[in-house]
Amino acid sequence: MSNDWPLYEVFIRSRSGLEHRHVGSLHAADAAMAVEHARDVYTRRQEGVSIWVVRSSDIVASDPNDADALFEPARDKVYRHPTFYAIPDEVKNL
């Protein structure tokens, strides 16, 4: 039965103010059922206060084969990290 159902990706917001995070996927006949399934599968231990679901087929992903082109060039650009500033002692939470 679940083989006939499309796959949905599930995103859960664990607390108000935090972002939704990807927690996994599940099968459901439609979006409404996917939300209920997500409630039953991924929030049984009080993991969340809000659920997003999206059809897995609607997600546009980068191609792992393009990883060299996409991500390698950033490797030697250390100057993009804000690590060259002297931080005053008075600043606590930076």
Partner 1 sequence: MSAGSQSIRPGSVQSAHCRYLLRLGDTSLVLGQRLAEWVGHSPALEEDLGLANLSLDLIGQARLLLSYAGELEGQGRGEDALAFLRDAPAFLNLTLAEQPNGDFGRTIVRQCLLDAWQLEVYAALADSTDARLASIAAKAIKETRYHWRFSSGWLVRLGDGTEESHRRVQEPLNELWRFTTELFAADEVEDEVAAAGIAPRLTELQPRWSARIDEVLQEATLVRPAAIPYQWHGKRGVHTEHLGHMLAEMQHLQRTYPGAQW
Range 10-39, binding partner 1 (CB under 8 A): 26-29, 32-33, 36-37, 39
**Which amino acid does the sequence have at 49?**
V
Told to check if 5 binds partner 1 by CB under 8 A, we report: yes
Q: How far is the CB of 31 from partner 1 (least distance, A)?
A: 13
CA gap 49, 45 in Å, rounded: 11
**Number of residues forming the site for partner 1 (CB under 8 A):** 15
CA atoms within 13 A on the CB side of 14: 6
Told to check if 40 binds partner 1 by CB under 8 A, we report: yes
- Do strands 50-55 and 20-27 pair parallel, antiparallel, or not at all (unpaired)? unpaired
Question: Would you tell me which residues interact with partner 1 (CB under 8 A)?
Answer: 1-2, 5, 26-29, 32-33, 36-37, 39-41, 44
